[in-house]
Amino acid sequence: MSGPPPVGREALFWQEAGRGRVRCTLCPHLCVIAEGAEGLCKARGVRDGRLQALTYAHPATIISDEIEKKPLYHFYPGTRALSLGSFGCNVLCSGCQNWQISHANARTDTTRLALLTPSDAVAMARKHKLSGVVFTYNDPVVWIEYVHDVCAQFKEAGLYTAFITASYVTQEALDYVAPVIDAFKFDLKAASADGWAWLSKVKDPAPALAMTIRAKEVHGCHVEVVSNIVPGMNDDDASLTAMATWVHDNLGAKTPWHVTRFLPDFELSYIPATPIRVLERGVTLGHAAGLSFVYVGNVPDHPGRNTVCPGCGRTVIVRGERAETLRIREGLCSTCGESLGLVAAWD
């Protein structure tokens, strides 16, 4: 995709750090950045003594996609959304499947960036009859000013908004963006701090866990959780149980948990894809931990993608080429009346 080089706009969330440097307070890395340089994420840099959001209004990826691909399974099933991503990321995962943009530098590699203002994004969604916008592919934290402005306009237009994230963000920044976010998909990367550090360069996941709980409890976002199961890293029974238990105890029994198949890519190309039986074991252990909705992800046509009512055991959403809702009335199972934790147009 060709387009103008990024011009960005002045960033929020920073303070002067002395000797011409700036401290970015958007995420817990709290980078101290010198004049002319960028932070760890490569999306925020200091120019003329002030922090700039270098990718504001400059997506690298603009796609219409099914909401199930994010994956969000209990949020407007069967709809399509405008999906936006850009350069840079603050979690830098070793096995990232979008490394071509998430590890790109907004200063040196600009030819693939487009220009899309917030009002242009709404117009594009309307033109293509899309139901909302999803920020995905790189972590939306790093261009939070644009995410905020786009989502505010989508909500004004009566369309939904979703944020696909590792949630490594400061409370001040979360509280700025969350009021315009409807759905929040959290990447729970591992059961331990060592696992997080190995997979994502985040040494202490505590802020990410705390901000996910805050998104749900304080801001009322619909939350779903994904754990990408990497062989030899987080695929043992103890890790799967620990992750499921965290979801259950902190977000509730009806929070969807997706155990997704790792596929070799980027710095982890030497690790084989996750065996499907390991994902199925994750589903069993997730249910044993008390979760009602545990899904197999990244395996096309697997029956573990369907939603089964925890009350009566009937299948209520089938996910083939597209999601088809069955036996649901106003978010409840029409057979037994069980609440399915769904957000959709009937709410």
Stretch that binds ligand SF4, among 28-36, 154-162, 186-194, 290-298 (CB under 6 A): 28-36
The smaller minimum CB distance to ligand SF4, of residues 40 and 177, is found at 40
Q: Are the beta carbons of 186 and 212 closer than 8 angstroms?
A: yes
The dihedral sign for the CA sequence 297, 245, 170, 196:
negative
Question: Do residues 58 and 121 make contact, with C-beta atoms less than 8 angstroms apart?
Answer: no
Residues 62-101 that bind ligand SF4 (CB under 6 A): 90
Residue 31 C-beta: closest distance to ligand SF4, Å: 3
Q: Is the distance from CB of 234 to CB of 243 less than 8 angstroms?
A: yes
CB of 268 to ligand SF4, least distance (A): 21
Q: In the chain, where do the E strands start and end?
A: 9-10, 14-18, 21-24, 32-33, 44-47, 50-53, 61-66, 80-85, 132-135, 160-165, 183-187, 222-229, 257-261, 294-297, 307-308, 315-319, 323-325, 328-329, 332-333
Residue type present at position 121: A
Q: Please report whether residue 27 would count as binding ligand SF4 according to CB under 6 A.
A: yes
- Residue 256, preceding peptide bond in cis (omega within 30° of 0): no
User: Which one, 29 or 216, has the nearer CB to ligand SF4?
Assistant: 29
In angstroms, give the least distance from the CB of 98 to ligand SF4: 17
Q: How far is CA 133 from CA 130, 155, 231, 335, in A?
A: 8, 10, 33, 32
Q: Which of 8, 22, 29, 163 binds ligand SF4 (CB under 6 A)?
A: 29
For ligand SF4, the closer of residues 31 and 81 by Cβ is 31
Q: Which one of 17, 30, 276, 344 is in contact with ligand SF4 (CB under 6 A)?
A: 30
Query: With CB under 6 A, what is the number of residues at the site for ligand SF4?
Result: 12
Helix (H, G, I), strand (E, B) or coil at 24: strand
Residue 333 found at the interface with ligand SF4 (CB under 6 A): no
Cα separations in angstroms, 68 against 62, 218, 317: 17, 25, 12
CB of 346 to ligand SF4, least distance (A): 37
Q: Which range binds ligand SF4 by CB under 6 A, 34-42, 109-117, 175-183, 286-294?
A: 34-42
Buried-state track 110-146, b at ≥16 Cβ within 10 A, e below 16: bebbbebebeebbebbeeeebbbbbbbbbbbbbbbbb
Shortest distance in whole angstroms from residue 112 CB to ligand SF4: 20
Q: Whole-angstrom Cα distance, residue 96 to residue 89?
A: 10
Which residues are CB-neighbours of 126 under 8 A, at least 6 positions away?
157
Q: Kindly tell me which residue out of 22, 41, 191, 323 binds ligand SF4, with binding defined by CB under 6 A.
A: 41
Closest approach, Cβ 95 to ligand SF4, in A, equals 19
The residue range among 33-41, 111-119, 239-247, 310-318 that interacts with ligand SF4, by the rule CB under 6 A, is 33-41
Binder of ligand SF4 out of 57, 72, 142, 174 (CB under 6 A) = 142
Binding segment (CB under 6 A) for ligand SF4, from list 38-46, 64-72, 111-119, 202-210? 38-46
Which of 6, 8, 22, 44 touches ligand SF4 (CB under 6 A)? 44
Segment interacting with ligand SF4, rule: CB under 6 A, options 20-28, 110-118, 248-256, 284-292: 20-28
Residue closer to ligand SF4, measured from CB, 53 or 283: 53
Residue 344, class by beta-carbon neighbours within 10 Å (0-12 exposed, 13-18 middle, 19+ buried)? middle
Quote the least distance from Cβ 49 to ligand SF4, whole Å: 16
Give the residues lining the site for ligand SF4 (CB under 6 A). Answer: 24, 26-27, 29-31, 39-41, 44, 90, 142
